[in-house]
Amino acid sequence: MNTDKTNFRKKVIALLGIGLFTFGLTTLSLAETLSVKGSDTMVILGQKWAEVYMKQNKGVTVQVTGGGSGTGIAALLNGTTDICQASRPMKPKEKLDLKKKRGVDAYELSVALDGLALFVNNKNPLQELTISQLKEIYTGEVTNWNELGGPNQKIILYGRENNSGTYAYFKEHVLQDEDFTPRTQTLPGTAAIINAVSKDVKGIGYGGIAYGRGVKFIKIKKDAKSPSYEPSLANVENGSYPISRYLYWYTAGAPKGIIKKYADWVVSPAGQSIVKNVGYYPLPRKTNLTGKKK
Amino acid sequence: MKIGPFKIKRVHEFLIERLIQVTAWTSIVTIVLIFLFVGKESIPLFTHPEVKQEANISKLFVPQQYSPDKPPKSVWQPVSTVPKYSLYPLMVGTLKATLIAILFSVPIAIAAALYTAEFASPRAREIIKPTIELLASVPSVVIGFFALIVLASILQTVFKLDYRLNGINAGVALGLAIIPVIYTISEDALISVPRTYKEASLALGANPWQTAFKVVLPAAFPGIAAAVILGFGRAFGETMIVLMASGNAAIGNWDFTESLRTLSATIATELAEVVHGSAHYHVLFFIGVFLFAITFGINFLGSLFIARFKSKLSGARS
């Protein structure tokens, strides 16, 4: 009876000790906080990186927020963020502003690749489309497949919800910031779109390449004269596939200390494996270890 | 000494009574707090100058002129160079889905209720009633998934529809979810029609069918109306099923074979990633208030009907 009690007491004390120890560790570690801000497209990617990195490196806190690439760059100029995530390269004027304001050069690091695949039902005979044809389809100017050389049937449009980065990217790069036609059906996630298109002979949809099974990918041409490319990883990597882009990180001056450690980890194979899980493309091997400085 | 245990018992009773009282009030307070919070987040639409400029009540409800050479339009396109926040397409979408759901489920649910209340043998009733009520425990996401994968294909081949995911698909799936609601309340209403009504009818020479249709059904009418209204309320606010089965295109017309987007599905999909504090964010909360007010009104109406039904029957008895 008595030993039971002392055992119990020992356990309680041990537990308390462990608790205090962890508490102490977390308080100590609060000193190392990193802030990451920028592109809404990259928020999820940034958060996933932060989550895994924080799990592996107890004592580092990474805060990730969105707001848009422009917001992130502005924050970098004002010194309110350590790392800026951007889904477009920084403009020359913005680089100049940074030099003026903070006295350092912008340091650019490509962290991932982003590309979009267009797909139709397997029964659809269409092989290739130009970017401007895609724009006409998704703004509702072209409504029948026969206008594109396909069979005489309606085009049924599938797309992503307006909160997704894919939606924003497609709108910006393919529709040139025009609105999607209201007839675009929006489904939660690329997998749902693929499923819908695989069952709909009149359907067309877009999404990440990694998801595609059971549908036919459309080859994309930049314009009527240029050659068409299929959305393979190789074509995205060498930049010949027209709807792809790099995603960037920017810091004010070359990263140092904890920021450098984090940036190195992000472009390392460990960091790049997360890129794939989130639905983007890992960097081509060559640029994997060295960021480009501009 | 004898008073001791008695006193303790009183203290226990007192404590438990208070505890139950607190629980009851907590749920009321929670609802009020939810409403206040959601309401608070939509207030900037009326007060904040920047938000007001991008979205205000007239932009939400009145068609807007977006290009000078085209007539005013009602468009829901919140992510755009010129954000468009018209709720009209969403309201039409919600009503379309709910209407189909009611048209599909009411005849089935009431017929089933009439059968189990009036004609079924006790054994058949023992099987049918719990089975239909079990349908209520199917998670709505499962019904939605079924509609997305299976029902949509069936409806498309049967009706030769252009759109695979459309208003009919969403409505029928929604109907499946509200059948148990309508059935259970209607059945209760039919069962509680006094025996004397039936006996009088049968004694006057009416057959069971005539009795069921001309006496029992009209007597239970307020209860059945309440069932339909509560089913309507449930369908109106249901999110997951329409989100998966409707295709979510914000088209503001009354063509039931086209895709539709509901108010609730809009909140569910867009609130997750919206920029905190933007006009879009506040509009979504306003939609929440709007939905809450409507479903609250509908449920209130339903309860009113049930109360009337009960007083009518008990009044008839005495």
- pLDDT tens digits along A169-209: 888 889 988 889 999 998 877 778 888 899 889 999 998 76
Is residue B216 within a helix (H) or strand (E), and if so which, with residue range?
A: none
- Nearest-CA residue of chain B relative to A158? B247
Residues in B closer than 8 angstroms to A66, CB to CB, are 275
At residue B4 the predicted structure's pLDDT band, cuts being 50, 70 and 90, is: low
Nearest-neighbour CA in chain A from B53: distance (Å): 20
Structural domain contains residue A264 = yes
* Residue A233 sits in the same domain as residue A274: no
- Per the structure, the complete domain to which residue B252 belongs is given by 57-317
Residues in B closer than 8 angstroms to A183, CB to CB, are 249, 251, 258-259
Domains contained in chain A, number: 2
Per residue in B92-131, pLDDT tens? 999 999 999 999 999 999 999 999 999 999 999 999 999 9
- State whether A156 and B162 contact (CB < 8 Å): yes
Structural domain contains residue B120 = yes
Query: Any chain B CB within 8 A of the CB of A196?
Result: yes
Structural domain contains residue B48 = no
Structural domain contains residue B47 = no
The distance of Cα B6 from the centroid of its chain, to the nearest Å, equals: 49
- In total, chain A counts a number of residues equal to 294
Q: Is the ipTM beyond the 0.85 threshold?
A: no
- State whether B270 and A161 contact (CB < 8 Å): yes
Supply B195's token pair: 């025996």
Structural domain contains residue B286 = yes
* Residue A157 sits in the same domain as residue A214: yes
Phi, psi of A97 (to 5 degrees): -60, -40
Domains contained in chain B, number: 2
- State whether A163 and B270 contact (CB < 8 Å): yes
Nearest-neighbour CA in chain B from A98: distance (Å): 26
Per residue in B161-184, pLDDT tens? 888 899 999 999 999 999 999 999
* Residue B115 sits in the same domain as residue B31: no
Structural domain contains residue B51 = no
- State whether B249 and A185 contact (CB < 8 Å): yes
pLDDT above 50 for B267: yes
Tell me which amino acid residue B288 is. G
- State whether A187 and B247 contact (CB < 8 Å): yes
pLDDT above 50 for A294: no
At residue A1 the predicted structure's pLDDT band, cuts being 50, 70 and 90, is: very low
* Residue A224 sits in the same domain as residue A151: yes
- State whether B163 and A156 contact (CB < 8 Å): yes
Count CB-CB contacts under 10 A for residue A159: 24
- State whether A186 and B78 contact (CB < 8 Å): no
* Residue B177 sits in the same domain as residue B204: yes
Average pLDDT over all residues of chain B: 89
* Residue B272 sits in the same domain as residue B304: yes
Structural domain contains residue A9 = no
- Per the structure, the complete domain to which residue A268 belongs is given by 33-114+247-293
Structural domain contains residue A188 = yes
> Which is nearest to B164 in space by CA: A54, A203, A218?
A203
DSSP, residue by residue, B271-307:
TTTSPTTSHHHHHHHHHHHHHHHHHHHHHHHHHHHHH
DSSP, residue by residue, A203-268:
EEEEE-GGG--SSEEPEEESSTTSPEE---HHHHHTT-SSSEEEEEEEEESS--HHHHHHHHHHHS
Q: What is the pLDDT of residue A29?
A: 47
Domain end call among A237, A262, A277: A237
Q: Looking at the DSSP assignment, which residues form a beta bridge with residue A248?
A: A86, A110
* Residue B290 sits in the same domain as residue B193: yes
* Residue B166 sits in the same domain as residue B293: yes
* Helix, strand or coil, per DSSP, at residue A293: coil
Q: How does B250-282 read in b/e, with b if 16+ C-beta sit within 10 Å?
A: bbbeeebebbbbbbbbbbbbbeebbeeebbbbb
Tell me whether strands A83-86 and B84-85 are parallel, antiparallel or unpaired.
Answer: unpaired
* Residue A94 sits in the same domain as residue A163: no
* Residue B227 sits in the same domain as residue B268: yes
- Nearest-CA residue of chain A relative to B73? A182
At residue A21 the predicted structure's pLDDT band, cuts being 50, 70 and 90, is: low
Most A CBs within 10 Å, among B87, B160, B269, B278, to test the A interface: B269
* Residue A224 sits in the same domain as residue A147: yes
Query: Any chain B CB within 8 A of the CB of A214?
Result: no
The CATH number given to whatever domain includes residue B105 is 1.10.3720.10
- State whether A187 and B275 contact (CB < 8 Å): no
- State whether A183 and B249 contact (CB < 8 Å): yes
Residues in B closer than 8 angstroms to A163, CB to CB, are 79, 269-270, 272-274
Out of B165, B250, B252, the one facing A196 most closely (by C-beta) is B165
* Helix, strand or coil, per DSSP, at residue B76: strand
* Residue A252 sits in the same domain as residue A212: no
Structural domain contains residue A3 = no
* Residue B34 sits in the same domain as residue B131: no
Phi, psi of B59 (to 5 degrees): -70, -25
Structural domain contains residue A268 = yes
Tell me whether strands A156-160 and A203-207 are parallel, antiparallel or unpaired.
Answer: parallel
Segment A267-283 shows an average pLDDT of 85
* Residue B128 sits in the same domain as residue B183: yes
Nearest-neighbour CA in chain B from A67: distance (Å): 7
